[in-house]
């Protein structure tokens, strides 16, 4: 651990929280525009968090208090840790070399798991139903998600995100395998709303049927932590997709030869733009256009359709590489 690493490990999470909230704001604004509303200002999520921090934090009488209070912290911490594994444009990931795609898979799972455990611990029937749904959903989408990661391991013979980001996947595979990669991309895009608990897969947090499900009993500071981890996770998930599928740097596309600060600034903005596009495609557009699925429908979609697409993609890569 050099001082540089430590600086990054502090700066990245702060930046990640900020960006996560900004992206959430943009998401809400664009979603409103899509339904011909004006929508909240982009700073709205910051005010929401500020307000939640001012509210009373209630621990229900029949909740398991320590578990109930620990889970929002776990979710928030794991989402911040997630950020440390993502190479940011041309910057290296701060924890480069300490973990890879498999760790990312586990950190993503850990967050959903923390929410589910928090739901069970809050002792409310609504939360329990929500937590059970979340577990079922997790079991459904983990398989396609793992398939995508195995596909990348097959191509690169490495799980490291920095290795993957350094050479765009499309440039090293045969046309057949490229088609496989495309299928993996489709599978990952479908998994994204489920992973982030957004419509049409926000079955575990359905506010109309089960009173916000797992979050039903959370208030004040605990809810703010979940809110933040949700925002960070949205940003991180889109960033992972960019790193996996669109790692092209702007200077390589336009043939620029930038150096020093200009390079970092331009590439960072370019990276953020790519993340924004993926975010809008995978989350905003989808959540505005669809209604909520039932849990059995969602389960079938992932186990049958998305899984088929992902496995076919994997097979093509296996044959093609």
Partner 1 sequence: MGKLDNFKRSLWVFHASGGSCNACDIEIVAALTPRYDVERFGIKLVGSPRHADVLLVTGAIPRDFADKLRRVYEQMPEPKAVVVVGNCGTSGGVFYDSYNIAGPIDEIIPVDVYVPGCPPRPEAIIDAVVKAWLKVEKLEKKLEGKEE
Binding residues with partner 1: total (CB under 8 A): 34
By CB under 8 A, name the one of 4, 14, 37, 305 that touches partner 1. Answer: 37
Interface pick for partner 1 out of 146, 211, 268, 281 (rule CB under 8 A): 211
- Alpha-carbon 216 to chain mean position: 22
**What is the SS3 assignment for 96?**
strand
Say whether residue 102 binds partner 1 (CB under 8 A): no
Report the residue from 55, 98, 265, 315 that binds partner 1 according to the rule CB under 8 A. Answer: 55
Tell me whether residue 187 is exposed, middle or buried, using C-beta atoms within 10 angstroms of its C-beta: 0 to 12, 13 to 18, 19 or more: buried
Q: Would you state the structure tokens that stand for residue 153, as one six-digit string?
A: 């391991």
Query: What stretches of 55-158 show up as alpha helix (H) in DSSP?
Result: 65-83, 101-121, 125-156
| Cis, peptide link before residue 200, omega less than 30° from 0 | yes
Candidate residues 216, 276, 282, 310; the one interacting with partner 1 per rule CB under 8 A: 216
Say whether residue 207 binds partner 1 (CB under 8 A).
yes
For the record, the structure tokens of 61 come out as 């009488």
CA distance 114 to 76: 9
Nearer residue to partner 1 within complex by CB, 76 or 218: 218
289 touches partner 1 by CB under 8 A:
no
Of 34-42, 148-156, 233-241, 298-306, the window that binds partner 1 (rule: CB under 8 A) is 34-42
Burial level of 66, CB count in 10 A (0-12/13-18/19+)?
exposed
Q: Map residues 118-157 to x or -, x wherever contact with partner 1 holds by CB under 8 A.
A: --------x-------------------------------
Among 1, 2, 3, 36, binds partner 1 (CB under 8 A): 36
Q: What is the largest CA-CA distance in the chain?
A: 63
Burial of 65 (0-12, 13-18, 19+ CB in 10 A): exposed
Q: Is 220 in the site for partner 1 (CB under 8 A)?
A: yes
Angle, alpha carbons 214-196-124 (nearest 5°): 0
- CA dist., res. 250 & res. 270, Å (int): 7
CB of 72 to partner 1, least distance (A): 13
- For partner 1, the binding residue among 57, 163, 251, 307 (CB under 8 A) is 57
Q: Which of 5, 44, 166, 251 binds partner 1 (CB under 8 A)?
A: 44
From 53-61, 92-100, 172-180, 270-278, give the range in contact with partner 1 by CB under 8 A.
53-61
168 binds partner 1 per the rule CB under 8 A: no
Nearer to partner 1, 55 or 294 (CB): 55
- Give 218's DSSP letter: -
> Residue 27 to residues 32, 98, 239: CA-CA distances in angstroms?
8, 32, 15
Count the Cβ atoms, other than its own, within 10 Å of residue 290: 13
Contacting range for partner 1; rule: CB under 8 A; set: 151-159, 209-217, 235-243, 275-283: 209-217
223 belongs to the binding site for partner 1 (CB under 8 A): yes
**Could you identify the residue written with the tokens 């840790």?**
81
Residue 208 binding partner 1, by CB under 8 A:
yes
Positions 9 through 28 that interact with partner 1 (CB under 8 A)? 28
Q: Return residues touching partner 1 (CB under 8 A).
A: 28, 32, 35-41, 44, 47-48, 50-51, 53-58, 126, 206-208, 210-212, 215-220, 223
């Amino acid at each position: 651990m050099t001082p540089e690493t430590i600086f990054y490990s502090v700066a990245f999470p702060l930046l990640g929280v900020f960006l996560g909230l900004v992206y959430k704001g943009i998401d809400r604004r664009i979603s409103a525009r899509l339904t011909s509303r004006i929508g909240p200002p982009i700073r709205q999520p910051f005010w929401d968090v500020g307000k939640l921090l001012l509210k009373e934090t209630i621990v229900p009488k029949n909740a398991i208090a320590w578990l109930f209070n620990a889970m929002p912290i776990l979710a928030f911490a794991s989402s911040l840790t997630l950020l440390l594994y993502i190479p940011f444009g041309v910057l290296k990931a701060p924890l480069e070399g300490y973990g890879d795609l498999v760790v990312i898979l586990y950190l993503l799972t850990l967050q959903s798991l923390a929410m589910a455990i928090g739901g069970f611990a809050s002792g409310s029937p609504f939360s329990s139903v929500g937590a059970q749904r979340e577990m079922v959903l997790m079991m459904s989408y983990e398989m396609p998600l793992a398939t995508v990661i195995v596909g990348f391991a097959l191509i690169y013979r490495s799980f490291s995100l920095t290795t993957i980001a350094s050479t765009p996947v499309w440039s090293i595979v045969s046309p057949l395998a490229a088609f496989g990669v495309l299928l993996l991309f489709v599978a990952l895009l479908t998994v994204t709303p489920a992973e982030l608990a957004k419509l049409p897969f926000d079955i575990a947090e359905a506010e109309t049927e089960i009173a916000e499900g797992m979050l039903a009993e959370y208030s004040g500071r605990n809810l703010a932590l979940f809110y933040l981890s949700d925002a960070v996770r949205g940003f991180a998930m889109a960033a992972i997709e960019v790193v996996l599928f669109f790692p092209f740097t702007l200077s390589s596309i336009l043939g620029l030869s930038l150096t020093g600060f200009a390079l970092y600034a331009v590439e960072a903005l370019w990276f953020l733009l790519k993340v924004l596009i993926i975010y809008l495609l995978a989350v905003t557009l989808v959540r505005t256009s669809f209604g909520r699925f039932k849990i059995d429908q969602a389960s079938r979609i992932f186990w049958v359709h998305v899984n088929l697409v992902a496995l076919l993609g994997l097979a093509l890569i296996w044959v093609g590489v």
